[in-house]
Structure 1
Amino acid sequence: MNTTQKKRDLKFYMSIYKKILIQDLKSKMSYRADFIISTFGMVLTNVVGFVSFYILFQNFPSINGWSYYEMLFLYGFSLVALTPVQCLFDNNWNLRFQVLSGDFIKYCFRPINIFFYFMSEIFDIKGLGQLAFGIGTIVFAWMHLDIPVTPVVLIKLAIYLFAASLFMIAIMNASAATCFYTLGSGYVMVIMFRFKDFAKYPANIFNAFFRFFFTFIIPIAFVAYYPSLVILRPDSIPLLSWLSPLIGLFFFYLSYKFWIHGAKKYNGTGS
């Protein structure tokens, strides 16, 4: 496939996504009270996390060398990194129901990428409240840390936030796709999603077993800790931090292929 064809395909998919997104947002706006309440609930949940750090650091000046504002930066970083999986890939939570009911078969007969088609149907707009709170937390922490504000640093921040988001997307893609292979996929998704709560903590506060587990088994440490070190600790950046964009792309690709492989094996029999 030549470059022109690739550009045409990208333009085609962006056009399709725009139309689907507009329709989805229109349907959500017809239930404004639900949107307002759910968004408020999400923001309130994140405020509780913010306050918990404040209470914790009233008793401890630092945790294994991490100051209050560094922990806040890590917390905000994790919130922003988790936003794409919530806004753009939230339909993963519906996958197992579609597979069990047999309704997933409708996605198999359209002349577009099945993964794109399925994910594009849902945009969780309330995740934007989490994004705003996460950005605000990063800015607040940044103002109290000795981090320069330069174009290079901001570009690094954007790149490593993108890299961090790929890991949680990959984790949820892979866990959702287990529904093509086993009936107990719901438990897998819930367990994997709950691991995100560990993303807001630095991996070096855990013992050796959990550091290894959160780095090489379930890579939650890459959702915030390793990528954020490029900004927070520029004088002592580990190799895993520098490599996180490449590792993130690799994990996302593996999760995508696992998802597609399961979708191709689906025969539409439902439960």
Structure 2
Amino acid sequence: MKRLAYYIRLWMGYQRMGLVEMTQYPADTVILVISLVLREAAGFIGVLAIASAVGGLGGWGIYEICLMFSMCALVESLSQTYFDNVWGISYLVHEGRLDVLLVRPAPVFFQVLGDVMHYPALISMAIYAGVMVYALVHLGIGFGVGLLLFLAEYLICGIAINTGIYTIFNCLNFWIVQGEDVAVLVQTCREFAKYPIGAFPGVIRTIFTYVLPFGFVGYYPAAYLTGKTGSWVLAGLPLSAAAVVAVAAVFWRLGSRAYDSTGT
């Protein structure tokens, strides 16, 4: 319990540092908020425009697409707020900054996650939470304990999948110089999760279900809520999250063992 209390206090300390950093440069924060909202809005409008032009996508109507897109955006926003520093692994490794974390009395990966907080991303999260509620109301999906429990499971597992996949590919920086480029490519592929992947060829569905399970970040949970797939999603979410986290843990462990600073 003492150990847990220590980690909680440490995490709260990271939270305070993130808030101080955000308020230290208010103009930068405002610009970041605007850019985040515009980026998500552009993608959202693009999906809606395509769906409107062809009368839906893969059998999904406008409100169903709104639900799926907003669920994807919620996970991305929360991940970006609290766990986005997995993208800093390349900097920590190539600049030798990981040395500082190695000598501190806390798990290194815990420090990596806490070192950067992007609170402006919570603004886009609030916007897409509103879009999700709007879609649920128009789809006639009632709010109740079951829905809230499912959304809690979805957010936890979705964040674990999202962060775990990015961790795996950013850990390539322990072995190759431009490992971040591979991670950026994977992040670009994540855009497929904002579309009904059932409309894509079988190989694409397989990749985003079993290899890069971004399908569980939006498509499958939204399909479950709209009755387009069965209750297997309730078990598929934690199983997929556990598998991704396990692989990410192996990559981090092997990578941190291979780390030998910058040699200078």
Pairing 1:174-253 to 2, within 5 Å after superposition: 174-233=168-227, 236-237=229-230, 239-240=232-233, 242-253=235-246
- Are 1:162 and 2:156 an aligned pair? yes
2:256 — aligned with what?
263
CA contact (8 A) 2:65 2:195 kept: yes
Query: Are 2:92 and 1:78 equivalent residues in the alignment?
Result: no
Residue 36 (structure 1) aligned with residue 30 (structure 2): yes
Following the alignment from structure 1 to structure 2, what is the Cα–Cα distance between the partners of residues 265 and 12?
Answer: 28
Identity of aligned residues (%): 25
Structure 1 pair 201–170 and aligned structure 2 pair: CA distance change class (3 A): same
Structure 1 consecutive aligned stretches of length 4 or more whose deviation exceeds 6 Å: none
- CA deviations on 1:65-113 (whole Å, 9 max, x unpaired) are 1111000100000001112321122212221122112221111111211
Query: Is the aligned partner of 1:14 residue 2:8?
Result: yes
Compared with structure 1, are the counterparts of its residues 257 and 100 closer, same or farther at alpha carbon in structure 2 (3 Å cutoff)?
same
Using structure 2 for the length normalisation, give the TM-score.
0.93
8 A Cα contact 1:203 1:221, kept in partner: yes
Change (3 A) 1:53 1:184: closer
> Residue 54 of structure 1 aligns to which amino acid in structure 2?
L
1:199 is paired with a residue whose SS is helix
Counterpart Cα distance in 2 of 1:80 and 1:224: 9
Map 1:108-127 onto structure 2 (within 5 A): 108-127=102-121
Instruction: Determine if the alignment matches structure 1 residue 100 to structure 2 residue 61.
Output: no
Structure 2: gaps (5+ residues): none
Aligned length: 264
Report if the CA contact (8 A) 2:78-2:122 is conserved. no
How far apart are 1:228 and its partner, in Å?
A: 2.5
SS in 1 for 2:194: coil
How far has the Cα of 1:232 moved from its partner? 2.0
Residue identity matched to 2:70: G
Aligned residues: CA RMSD: 1.8
Q: Distance in 1 between matches of 2:20 and 2:57?
A: 46
Whether contact under 8 Å (2:197, 2:205) holds in the other structure is yes
Bigger mean CA deviation after superposition, 222-231 or 130-139: 222-231
